């Protein structure tokens, strides 16, 4: 193929049919968009939720990122609850790998060792960081949007924003029915990539922290027919042999990290993570898909030959959604910074919490302002396209925080519509009160 190098063709102008209009349009059905849609609908708004794939919960299901990061603080208090925790409760214990409530915050050495190798203990503390069956999460998410009365449309891709005079009024989608418009009083951009606010001309940032995994990309996968109890026993009781095996694997070009799941025969891999790619470029996304599957095939052969419990493993599946950690971040009214977080983490317009990065860090109050564009009206950004500096974006893009932002955005949108006020003028005390009523945690534990 010869590249176009700036060459263009003119498409004929056309009228686009209006599919419908609603109070709140949510673009993207990932953790943030799902929570936003449910929260807004439960508050009585007429909500349309649009998703480009055929299932809900974005990377947390379709990206096979089904280890949900910490929802408890270092003292074991549940600081992320609301719609996210409701989803966990409804998935049920059989589908979840995670410590019982009475162990949250425990420093007991045996419990920490047991849960540490199951990704639910960090820095000597047992945490609520569950690993959940992604297929069940899709089903329960379907139940929750249906029950809330959300009008959900799958297989539609937002390609443009409808906006004039500095105000977003909906979005245009491509689908098997062709191109159509959806008009909305408020639009929530939960695409993860800021597709809608960028198309509407909002300012955004795209710099990233190249020293960490912040912008690394990969396609996750699972191996089946694994003897996970045997592998975990090896990891726990023969730690030095296990570490030596990892070193030998790395020397052989295999950089896979095993993640335990709710099922004894299934292992999850969210590795290896590739740097130097943009998740907004199709050639880069394609290269990552190829490289991830090459690494998976090579890894399977190595694991079968060397790793206890993997002798008869096979590839169970690969994620249909490429794992994207970072693309665009809104330039918002409030930009969360690591310095402020370290100093106090307090914000007057908190919509929820994020546990401190280490026991020395305070719990962060996530501000509503990080969802509100500096200039544009009629649109909020929820989820990993929030406004934050790169080091604070890294933890804030995790699934629990995306639930928090989604629920906050959904409720704010419903209140703005009901009270006929601008999104930037939503009364904070009312928003916080409604969030508490919906089961969210807004106030840091005393
Ligand atoms: C490999 C990897 C490992 C990770 N590990 C963890 C982990 O262990 N624990 C954790 O808590 N977090 C983890 N994360 C982070 C977390 O998964 C994501 O940051 C989180 O899912 C973001 O949620 P979101 O709703 O903002 O966006 P997404 O989950 O990206 O959801 C966005 C949704 O919008 C849809 N969409 C996008 N563009 C359009 C469009 N134009 N039109 C219509 N629909 C659109 C997408 O299909 C998707 O469903 C990881 C991320 C990656 C990539």
Whether the CB of 218 sits within 6 Å of ligand 1: yes
pLDDT by residue (tens digit) across 52-107? 999 999 999 999 999 999 999 999 999 999 999 999 999 999 999 999 999 999 99
Whether the CB of 272 sits within 6 Å of ligand 1: no
pLDDT by residue (tens digit) across 411-445? 999 999 999 999 999 999 999 999 999 999 999 99
Question: 395 CA distance to ligand 1 centroid (A)?
Answer: 13
Question: 383 CA distance to ligand 1 centroid (A)?
Answer: 8
Residue with CA nearest ligand 1 atom 53:
323
- Reported as half-sphere exposure (CB side, CA atoms, 13 A), residue 224 has a value of 4
CB 185 within 8 A of CB 170: no
- Has residue 29 got a pLDDT over 90? yes
Burial class (CB in 10 A: 0-12, 13-18, 19+), 424: middle
Residue with CA nearest ligand 1 atom 26:
383
Question: Can you give the pLDDT at residue 212?
Answer: 86
Whether the CB of 152 sits within 6 Å of ligand 1: no
Question: Can you give the pLDDT at residue 262?
Answer: 97
Query: Would you call 412 helix, strand, or coil by DSSP?
Result: helix
DSSP per residue, 218-238:
E--EEEES--HHHHHHHHHHS
Of 31, 63, 160, 192, which is best to mutate to test ligand 1, by the most ligand atoms within 8 angstroms of its C-beta?
A: 192
Ligand 1 atom with least separation from CA of 322: 53
Question: Can you give the pLDDT at residue 341?
Answer: 98
Distances (CA, A) of 174 to 73, 153, 194, 323: 42, 12, 17, 23
What is the C-alpha separation between 66 and 64, in angstroms, rounded? 5
Range 368-380 average pLDDT: 98
Residues with Cβ < 8 Å from 210, sequence gap 6 or more? 275
Question: 208 CA distance to ligand 1 centroid (A)?
Answer: 17
Of 28, 280, 403, which is best to mutate to test ligand 1, by the most ligand atoms within 8 angstroms of its C-beta?
A: 28
Of 395, 399, 404, 409, which is best to mutate to test ligand 1, by the most ligand atoms within 8 angstroms of its C-beta?
A: 399
Whether the CB of 28 sits within 6 Å of ligand 1: yes
What is the C-alpha separation between 38 and 304, in angstroms, rounded? 43
pLDDT by residue (tens digit) across 253-267? 999 999 999 999 999
- Reported as half-sphere exposure (CB side, CA atoms, 13 A), residue 104 has a value of 17
Ligand 1 atom with least separation from CA of 195: 41
Instruction: Give 213's pLDDT tier (boundaries 50, 70, 90).
Output: confident
Question: 26 CA distance to ligand 1 centroid (A)?
Answer: 15
Instruction: Give 312's pLDDT tier (boundaries 50, 70, 90).
Output: very high
Ranges 2-6, 53-57, 277-281, 305-309: which has the least confidence:
2-6
- Has residue 9 got a pLDDT over 90? yes
**Going along 89-153, which residue ranges are E strands?**
96-97, 121-122, 125-126, 131-132, 151-153
Question: Can you give the pLDDT at residue 15?
Answer: 96
- Has residue 342 got a pLDDT over 90? yes
Share of the chain above pLDDT 70, in %: 100
Instruction: Give 210's pLDDT tier (boundaries 50, 70, 90).
Output: confident
Domains defined for the chain, CATH in brackets? 18-67+131-204+328-437 (3.50.50.60), 217-324 (no CATH)
Tokens in use for 30?
């990932």
Instruction: Give 243's pLDDT tier (boundaries 50, 70, 90).
Output: very high
Distances (CA, A) of 313 to 64, 301, 318: 18, 9, 14
* 336 DSSP β-pair partners: 388
Whether the CB of 402 sits within 6 Å of ligand 1: yes
Whole-number average pLDDT of the chain: 97
Ligand 1 atom with least separation from CA of 259: 8
pLDDT by residue (tens digit) across 273-286? 999 999 999 999 99
pLDDT by residue (tens digit) across 13-28? 999 999 999 999 999 9
Question: Can you give the pLDDT at residue 214?
Answer: 86
Instruction: Give 347's pLDDT tier (boundaries 50, 70, 90).
Output: very high
Question: 59 CA distance to ligand 1 centroid (A)?
Answer: 4
Whether the CB of 325 sits within 6 Å of ligand 1: yes
CB 368 within 8 A of CB 387: no
């Amino acid at each position: 193929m010869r590249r176009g190098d700036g060459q263009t063709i003119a498409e004929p102008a056309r009228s686009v049919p209006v599919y419908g209009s609603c109070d709140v349009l949510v673009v993207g059905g990932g953790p943030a968009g799902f929570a936003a849609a449910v929260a807004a609908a439960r508050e009585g708004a007429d909500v349309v939720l649009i998703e480009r794939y055929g299932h809900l919960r974005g990377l947390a299901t379709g990206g096979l990122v089904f280890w949900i990061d910490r929802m408890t603080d270092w003292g074991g208090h549940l600081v992320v609850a609301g719609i996210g925790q409701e989803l966990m409760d409804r998935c049920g214990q059989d589908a979840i790998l995670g410590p019982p409530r009475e162990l949250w915050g425990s420093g007991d050495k045996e419990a920490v060792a047991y849960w540490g190798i199951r990704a639910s203990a960090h820095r000597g503390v047992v945490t609520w960081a569950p690993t959940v069956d992604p297929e069940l999460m899709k089903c329960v998410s379907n139940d929750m949007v249906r029950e809330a009365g959300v009008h959900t449309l799958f297989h539609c891709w937002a390609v443009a924003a409808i906006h004039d005079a500095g105000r977003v009024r909906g979005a245009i989608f491509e689908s098997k029915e062709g191109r159509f418009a959806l008009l909305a009083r408020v639009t929530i951009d939960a695409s993860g990539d800021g597709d809608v606010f960028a198309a509407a001309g909002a300012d955004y940032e795209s710099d990233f922290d190249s020293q960490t995994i912040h912008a690394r990309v990969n396609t996750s996968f699972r191996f089946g027919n694994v003897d996970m109890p045997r592998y975990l026993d090896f990891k726990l009781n023969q730690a030095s042999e296990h570490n030596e095996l990892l070193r030998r694997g790395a020397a052989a070009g295999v950089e896979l990290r095993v993640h335990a799941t709710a099922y004894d025969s299934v292992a999850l891999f969210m590795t290896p993570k590739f740097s130097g790619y943009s998740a907004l470029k199709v050639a880069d996304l394609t290269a990552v898909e190829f490289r991830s599957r090459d690494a998976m095939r090579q890894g399977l052969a190595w694991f079968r030959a060397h790793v206890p419990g993997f002798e008869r493993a096979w590839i169970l599946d690969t994620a249909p959604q490429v794992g994207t950690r970072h693309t665009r971040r809104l330039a918002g009214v409030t930009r969360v910074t690591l310095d402020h977080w370290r100093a106090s983490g307090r914000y007057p317009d908190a919509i929820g919490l994020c546990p401190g990065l280490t026991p020395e860090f305070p719990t962060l109050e996530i501000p509503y302002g990080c969802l509100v564009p500096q200039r544009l009206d009629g649109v909020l950004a929820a989820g990993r396209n929030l406004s934050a500096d790169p080091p604070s974006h890294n933890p804030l893009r995790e699934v629990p925080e995306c639930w928090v932002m989604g629920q906050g955005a959904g409720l704010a949108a419903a209140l703005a519509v009901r009270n006929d006020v601008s999104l930037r003028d939503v009364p904070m005390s009312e928003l916080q009160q409604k969030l508490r009523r919906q089961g969210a945690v807004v106030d840091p534990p005393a």
